[in-house]
Amino acid sequence: MNFKKELAAILFELLEQEISADELELMVEKPKNASHGDLAFPCFTLAKLKRKSPNMIAQELSEKIQSPIFEQTEVVGAYLNLFLNKKLVSEKVVSEIITQTGHFGAHEFGGGGNVTIDMSSPNIAKPFSMGHLRSTVIGNALALIVEKCGYKPIKINHLGDWGTQFGKLITAYQLWGDAEQVKQNPIKELLALYIKFHKEAEIDSSLEDQGRSWFKRLEDGDEEALMLWQWFRDESLKEFSRIYELMNIQFDSYAGEAFYNDKMDRVVQLLEEQQLLVESDQAQVVELTDEQLPPCLIKKSDGATLYATRDLAAALYRKENYNFAKSLYVVGHEQSLHFKQLIAVLSKLGYPWAEKMVHVPFGMMLKDGKKMSTRKGKVVLLEEVLTESIAMARHNIEEKNPNLANKDEVAKQVGVGAVIFHDLKNNRMNDIEFSLEEMLRFEGETGPYVQYTFARGCSILRKGNWQADVPPANCHTTWEKEWKVISMLIEFPNAIQRACENLDPSQVAKYVVDLAQAFNKYYAEVKVLEESTEQPARLALVYSVTVVLKEGLRLLGIEAPEEM
Ligand code: ARG
């Protein structure tokens, strides 16, 4: 269903194979204005090659092209504009969707290769932040998108469960903690202890030393330290799991930073063997002057290892364990330098696969134009955001469709879908303004709008008694009025491919909004349910739209209720 490719193949033959089909395909454009056709071929390059005017080339091609998939060609200046054969193409795409259903739009270029996706990765004993939400949502969508393109995604939650902060936390707990309170409200209590530690440490400088020595004990496997750490970790994970469950997100691995504790000596040894470790300010670092980066810290003076060391060990482990074709890190852009250093150190160690590692950065979540912070009491608890969104969705349902059968289930699908869609609809590098009202609107570019359009499609199909397994045998229609929607359906595989290549789920989010808009416009203009010879074809179109909307939403990690 790739008409750019088909046109390129036809031109390749006509031009006696002077230019490769791949190159020709890259030249084919999709006109912005539909009155200029469905495809356009600019003839400038050929004109240079053949020393003729571009217009002449376009004329020649226009006369020679003969293919049933084009019903008309037109020459405008240097351009050859082509109009697809609406009947042939429409019937082809609709019957393809009917037979393939959710599989429509799939690609195979991933070739079964593994893609590890480092995503979510919240820090133990701290609230799940908006940044972690973005990482979770973007990572999950990327997993679904790369899978649709033939890769095998491996979702890894690189939990922040190790580091000097745990030494501080243990110190604070020993001094001021209360087991009962922690049990009742783990993250809140642990966060309070952590904040208290920092406040007290401003006055009592010995606290920092105590913190360091507790972390050292933890790294050396001290029983008491480990027990407390394990307890904090378990309690935190319980809270995080509630959020993942609400969002219907699963991981293939929870190997967090602590998992690499016994794998870091090897990293240090590898660096030493290649004489990459140097002493600087009482710490061991890898100099990255040639790469124009600041040195990468590997080991502190007391022997404690660092975030970067654990990431080096993790990268080696992932390569050896999963032999990835690509290794993605969905982490906020403020960590760009860290990932540049990580990749640079691995390249210095001589690993060619370092090139397959990609930091997938994203912008911040803002509230009233300011960063949403988890410190200083300004905590925005993600769980609250989700439950509030679900409650608002529930309220909307009560107003719009009070007789709906499974209101709670639908409210959850809509409320959570709204939060996810709001995150994914913009290019991931953009900062996004947090607004529940905006997310939950039923019009405009929102999750509920797309879900609502899907539900409307389903309702039309129910009323029209559509039988999904019966493709329209004889379509008595020219597909003229349907053409805008059809040309959107044709685009679905391309949107998925772009999303995969650019690691950008917004390509799919924008696509489903555009399709929903085109469909709603069509539905306002054409009486789909009216008895007519065209009705079967129209219902087939409605069905195709529902299949693609549902699959598009699925790729974003959003469910599609059939009624709402
Ligand atoms: N836990 C880290 C943080 O919250 C993010 C970890 C990202 N992944 C990684 N492999 N470094 O900042």
Count of beta carbons in the 10 Å neighbourhood of residue 173: 22
Domain for residue 107, yes or no?
no
Q: How confident is the model at residue 127 (pLDDT cuts 50, 70, 90)?
A: confident
Question: Is the same domain home to 359 and 215?
Answer: yes
Question: Is the same domain home to 159 and 207?
Answer: yes
Residue of 157, 158, 259 best suited for mutating to test ligand 1, as the one with most atoms within 8 Å of CB: 158
Domain for residue 339, yes or no?
yes
Q: Which ipTM score applies to this complex? A: 0.99
Long-range contacts of 268-275 (CB under 8 A, 24+ apart): 268/298, 268/299, 268/305, 268/309, 270/349, 271/298, 271/345, 271/349, 274/348, 274/349, 274/350
pLDDT at 23 (0 to 100): 94
Q: Is the pLDDT of residue 53 over 90?
A: yes
Question: Is the same domain home to 23 and 128?
Answer: no
Question: Is the same domain home to 47 and 132?
Answer: no
In angstroms, the CA 389 to CA 393 distance is 6
pLDDT at 164 (0 to 100): 87
Task: Provide CB contacts within 8 A for 537, sequence distance 6+.
Answer: 94, 472, 475, 476, 477, 479, 482
Question: Is the same domain home to 229 and 168?
Answer: yes
Q: Is the pLDDT of residue 441 over 50?
A: yes
- Structural domain span for residue 71: 3-84
- Is the torsion defined by CA of 8, 12, 15, 20 positive or negative? positive
pLDDT at 471 (0 to 100): 63
Question: Is the same domain home to 79 and 121?
Answer: no
Q: What is the CATH number of the domain that holds 7?
A: 3.30.1360.70
Average pLDDT over residues 87-105: 94
Please, what's the largest Cα pairwise distance for the chain? 87
Q: How confident is the model at residue 367 (pLDDT cuts 50, 70, 90)?
A: confident
Q: Is the pLDDT of residue 374 over 60?
A: no
Residue ending a domain, among 41, 65, 84, is 84
Question: Is the same domain home to 139 and 80?
Answer: no
Residue of 263, 331, 337 best suited for mutating to test ligand 1, as the one with most atoms within 8 Å of CB: 331
Supply 387's token pair: 């439950």
- How far out from the chain centre does Cα 383 lie? 21
Residue ending a domain, among 303, 335, 366, is 366
The per-residue pLDDT for range 484-513, each reduced to its tens digit, is 999 999 999 999 999 999 999 999 999 999
Domain for residue 51, yes or no?
yes
Of 494, 481, 489, 482, the residue nearest 28 (C-alpha): 494
In angstroms, the CA 13 to CA 317 distance is 49
Question: Is the same domain home to 124 and 205?
Answer: yes
Of 33, 30, 75, the residue nearest 54 (C-alpha): 75
Residue 306 C-alpha to ligand 1 middle, in angstroms? 12
Spatial contact of 46 and 57, defined as CB atoms under 8 Å apart? yes
Question: Is the same domain home to 165 and 208?
Answer: yes
Question: Is the same domain home to 119 and 79?
Answer: no
Average pLDDT over residues 389-404: 93
Counting from 1 in the atom list of ligand 1, the atom nearest the Cα of 159 is 1
Domain for residue 95, yes or no?
no
Question: Is the same domain home to 151 and 244?
Answer: yes
Query: Is the CB of 210 within 6 Å of ligand 1?
Result: no
pLDDT at 120 (0 to 100): 98
Side chain identity at residue 547, one-letter code? V
Question: Is the same domain home to 325 and 204?
Answer: yes
Residue ending a domain, among 322, 340, 366, is 366
Pairing state between β 152-156 and 39-42: unpaired
Count of beta carbons in the 10 Å neighbourhood of residue 292: 8
Query: Is the CB of 311 within 6 Å of ligand 1?
Result: yes
Q: Is the pLDDT of residue 258 over 70?
A: yes
Query: Is the CB of 160 within 6 Å of ligand 1?
Result: yes
Number of H helices and number of E strands within the chain?
Answer: 21, 13
Task: Provide CB contacts within 8 A for 144, sequence distance 6+.
Answer: 153, 554, 555, 556, 557
Q: What's the structural domain count of the chain?
A: 2
The per-residue pLDDT for range 145-182, each reduced to its tens digit, is 999 999 999 999 999 999 889 999 999 999 999 999 99
Residue 439 C-alpha to ligand 1 middle, in angstroms? 27
Q: Is the pLDDT of residue 327 over 80?
A: yes
Residue 419 C-alpha to ligand 1 middle, in angstroms? 22
Side chain identity at residue 307, one-letter code? Y
Counting from 1 in the atom list of ligand 1, the atom nearest the Cα of 132 is 4
Side chain identity at residue 223, one-letter code? E
Average pLDDT over residues 544-561: 98
Supply 433's token pair: 């303004």
pLDDT at 376 (0 to 100): 43
Q: Is the pLDDT of residue 281 over 90?
A: no
pLDDT at 373 (0 to 100): 58
Counting from 1 in the atom list of ligand 1, the atom nearest the Cα of 335 is 12
Query: Is the CB of 158 within 6 Å of ligand 1?
Result: yes
Q: What is the CATH number of the domain that holds 255?
A: 3.40.50.620
The percent of the chain in helix, strand and coil, each rounded to the nearest 5, is 60, 10, 30
Q: How confident is the model at residue 116 (pLDDT cuts 50, 70, 90)?
A: very high
Q: Is the pLDDT of residue 381 over 90?
A: no
pLDDT at 470 (0 to 100): 64
Average pLDDT over residues 117-142: 94
Q: Is the pLDDT of residue 377 over 60?
A: no
Counting from 1 in the atom list of ligand 1, the atom nearest the Cα of 160 is 1
pLDDT at 36 (0 to 100): 93
pLDDT at 344 (0 to 100): 98
In sequence order, what E strands does 77-160 have?
79-84, 114-118, 152-156
Domain for residue 15, yes or no?
yes
Counting from 1 in the atom list of ligand 1, the atom nearest the Cα of 331 is 7
In angstroms, the CA 211 to CA 171 distance is 6
Q: How confident is the model at residue 2 (pLDDT cuts 50, 70, 90)?
A: confident
Residue 331 C-alpha to ligand 1 middle, in angstroms? 7
Domain for residue 140, yes or no?
yes
Counting from 1 in the atom list of ligand 1, the atom nearest the Cα of 129 is 4
Q: Is the pLDDT of residue 25 over 60?
A: yes
Average pLDDT over residues 366-386: 68
Domain for residue 92, yes or no?
no
Burial status of residue 145 (CB atoms within 10 A of its CB: 0-12, 13-18, 19 or more): buried
Domain for residue 535, yes or no?
no
3-state secondary structure of 125: coil
3-state secondary structure of 424: helix
